[in-house]
Amino acid sequence: QVCAQLCRRPCYCPWVPPRCPRGSPLVLDGCGCCKICARRLGEPCDFLHVCDQSQGLVCDYSSASAGTGGTCNFEDDEEGCEVNGRVYRDGEVFQPSCKIQCHCLDGGFNCIPLCQEDVRLPTPDCPYPRRVEIPGKCCPEWICEAQDQHLLRDARAASPPLPHPCPEWGTQWSACSATCGLGFASRVSNQNRYCRLETQRRLCMARPCPALPAAFPA
């Protein structure tokens, strides 16, 4: 009965199909006549303006008054997530980009990074590490700029201290490397004239070592 009232034969459709927003595919309307943009989660719907069935959406009339349209929702009130115009089912794992992975859960989503956020400290063979984007690779990588070591030493000697204060950052001193006698402890800190992360060491002694027994009795 609804089809007879709303659907006209033959079909009269626009020459150019509509341009749909991202995540809304072109589908046939409820009459099976013209192509329209499928309605997404939470959008209004009715007999003609159908929901995106590829995302598991149906037109929900449970909260609508008589004679009005419904709202696109998951079948059987199933929870889901909408990210960048695309709907994901509850429990589904997806990647909005190659750098993060997300998990849809109870209408929300949690994401974790897939690229390591490690810190590379300056070393004698790599005094100025730099992270760059590599074509064809998702995660940035560390590279070492090839510069002459003598020029680096001269530049360091000639460089004045930083004009602005350096917010102090550093790890705790590690345990002494020797259980007795003289050893060393290390930490990572930026407290230097260039405000760069570096490994620092200092001498330490946990306790004196016990005296060795005499070779001959007194």
Neighbours of 125 (CB within 10 A): 7
Distance CA 143, CA 128 (A): 9
Neighbours of 40 (CB within 10 A): 22
- In terms of pLDDT, which residue wins out, 95 or 153? 95
Match 């990647």 to its residue by tokens: 95
Q: Is the Cβ–Cβ distance between 121 and 197 less than 8 Å?
A: yes
Percent of residues, the chain, with pLDDT higher than 90: 9
pTM comes to 0.37
Distance CA 112, CA 24 (A): 27
Residues of the chain with CATH 2.20.100.10: 169-208
- pLDDT, tens digit, 9 for 90 and up, residues 105-155: 777 778 888 887 777 777 777 878 888 888 888 888 888 876 544 444 554
Classified by CATH at the fold level, domain 169-208 comes out as: TSP-1 type 1 repeat (2.20.100)
What is the sign, positive or negative, of the torsion defined by CA atoms of 28, 30, 33, 37? negative
Q: How confident is the model at residue 29 (pLDDT cuts 50, 70, 90)?
A: very high
Distance CA 59, CA 122 (A): 59
Give how far the C-alpha of residue 28 lies from the chain's centroid of Cα atoms, to the nearest Å: 36
How many CA atoms lie within 13 Å of 73's alpha carbon, on the beta-carbon side?
14
- pLDDT, tens digit, 9 for 90 and up, residues 30-79: 998 899 999 998 889 998 999 998 888 888 887 766 667 888 887 765 56
Distance CA 90, CA 103 (A): 8
